[in-house]
Amino acid sequence: MGLDRSDRAGVLVVTFNSIDSERKLDKNGESSHFELICAEDGGKVKNARKMVIFGASVFLGAGLLLTGCKSAPELTKANALALIQAKYDQTPAVGANITVDDLGMRQGAASKLWERTTIYPNKFWADFKLTPEGKKAVKLQDGSDTIKWRPDSLTDTHFSVIVVSVAANHLKAHDVADPQDEVVPGVSTAKGASFTEAVNLDGVPDSLQQIAHNPGNKLSTKRQADFSLENGAWVLHSIE
């Protein structure tokens, strides 16, 4: 094997000669030889080496990128419901506001929640005092124990008063929809889901629950919850 410089600038010629003890090896003779031409400056071999190194770098970089990039955890309906309910459970329990109209007043009197103590000359105004049983079930917003019934006329069926259940509860969330990608100001990764917010009547006497289901009472409301991804975990961002 010999190393020769060719006439071409910057080209190294590597010559492999067969071993022949009986013949002299001559550079220009008949000895079989193989020349490997390596480009020292800008040649094909150098370019090929660069391409191999570049390809390996790209492959390695892509592998590191995929390793370091973790996808967001799934936010299921059950997860969303748990986050919403946890928020409600952290809020102080309160009594339910119950609208009592003409029908409700008659139902409450029949159930001995209140009784009429005064009737006024116009025959349609009256006072109803809470019974001992009624005081266990409801409170009045003015803090008294007397419902002041003041409709506009004998035929006024739209007048109503509001009583508050003594039993205090947290709101309940249910019927959560599948969370969807959402755009929320100030949040890089967000999802949203609609759900139903319901008044909880646990511990409320049946007679008062019947009144609570009369027209004029709204025991459930459609809401929207937004969630944000923080430190790799979903959290409740807001409820509207």
How does DSSP assign 157-192, residue by residue?
Answer: ----EEEEEEEEE--EEE-PPPPEE---TT-SSEEE
Inter-CA distances, 5 with 8, 12, 38, 214, Å: 8, 5, 11, 106
| Domain range summary for the chain, segments of one domain joined by + | 2-68, 77-239
Q: What does the pLDDT read at residue 85?
A: 98
Residue pLDDT, tens place only, 15-49:
434 434 433 334 444 444 433 333 344 444 444 44
| Dist. CA 131–CA 133, nearest whole Å | 5
Residue pLDDT, tens place only, 197-217:
999 999 999 999 999 999 999
Residue pLDDT, tens place only, 58-89:
433 444 344 444 578 999 999 999 999 999 99
